[in-house]
Amino acid sequence: MKFAYYPGCSVEGSSREYDESLRAVCEALGIQLVEIPQWNCCGASSAHQVDSFLKIALPALDLLKAEEMGLPILAPCAACFLNLKRAKKALLEDEKLKTKLSSLFGKNFQGKTEVFHPLWVFSKPGLIERSQELIKVKLSELKLVCYYGCYLVRPPEITEIDDPENPQLMEKIMKTLGIQVIDWAWKVDCCGGSHSLLNPHLVKKLSKRLVQKAKESGAQGIVVACPLCQANLDLYQENQNMPIYYFTELMGVSFGIKDAKNWFKRHMVKPSLG
């Protein structure tokens, strides 16, 4: 299995532990990642507020590069994943926009490149079985809740999540590791996303409430698949001492990957198993 890897800005910066754990887990699972050469920012959370054309043009250029590689894209950042999927849909549905971009970049957009988040890939039956075979460290004492946030589930016609109100992809992976997954009603509520830059008081309120609800459910930690979610919940929980794990970090620990627990050193709240 081979992918054109689109790390995005956050994963190569403030969320390096996510990048490192993802690469290590992919290697263990036999998944080959080929980083898209000279990839550019997808526009993240700001491009759509600045220019409606720019919000499509930025991720479209990365889609074109992946098309040239002849590989599907793996995008670990939830915002990047959504922007790439949204750009592809817009280009396939708007011929004028497609023509304009093709002229701008000097390349013809085919729309053949599929875009995946690692949750979609790792939860496939074949890789679930492979994950079971790789388990060396039992995590059966951990009681966690899975948190998806907004970008992975909305809008569902773009993200194509299994269930926008009650997704189960992350749960399937965590249960494979033997983790006790607690069901809760807050898994797709917003943490505030990029508003941490402009309205930190809102993000603090939303993130603090999510951590409180996780604690009330009996969870010892929260599992995430988005750099923004991890940062907000980790930073704005107001000393509730709730570890916020990337799902790939837990996979790495369970697989017995060397130095996997070092990834936790970059967290604000250090997990007890680290």
Q: What is the pLDDT of residues 77-116, one digit of tens each?
A: 999 999 999 999 999 999 999 999 999 999 999 898 999 9
Host domain of residue 108: 2-118
Give exposure, 206-229, as e/b (b: 16+ Cβ within 10 Å).
Answer: bbbebbebbbeeebbbbbbbbbbb
Domain boundary residue, one of 118, 138, 173: 118
Domain boundary residue, one of 64, 85, 118: 118
Domain boundary residue, one of 97, 118, 139: 118
Convert 142-198 into a string of H (helix), E (strand) and C (coil).
CEEEECCCCCCCCCHHHHCCCCCCCCCHHHHHHHHCCCEECCCCCCCCCCCHHHHCC
Q: What are the E-state strand segments in the chain?
A: 2-5, 32-35, 73-74, 115-116, 143-146, 180-181, 221-224, 244-246
In this structure, are 160 and 107 located in the same domain?
Answer: no
Which residues on adjacent β-strands are paired with residue 74? 5, 116
- Extract the residue ranges of the chain whose pLDDT is less than 70: 46-49, 274
Amino acid 48: pLDDT: 61
pTM of the predicted protein model: 0.96
Residues 139-166 pLDDT 10s: 999 999 999 999 999 999 999 999 999 9
Q: Are 24 and 137 in contact (CB under 8 A)?
A: no
The residue type found at 168 is: Q
The full length of the chain comes to 274
Q: Is residue 227 part of a domain?
A: yes
Q: Is residue 273 part of a domain?
A: no
In this structure, are 114 and 149 located in the same domain?
Answer: no
In this structure, are 34 and 88 located in the same domain?
Answer: yes
Q: Is residue 274 part of a domain?
A: no
Which residues on adjacent β-strands are paired with residue 45? none
Q: How many domains does the chain have?
A: 2
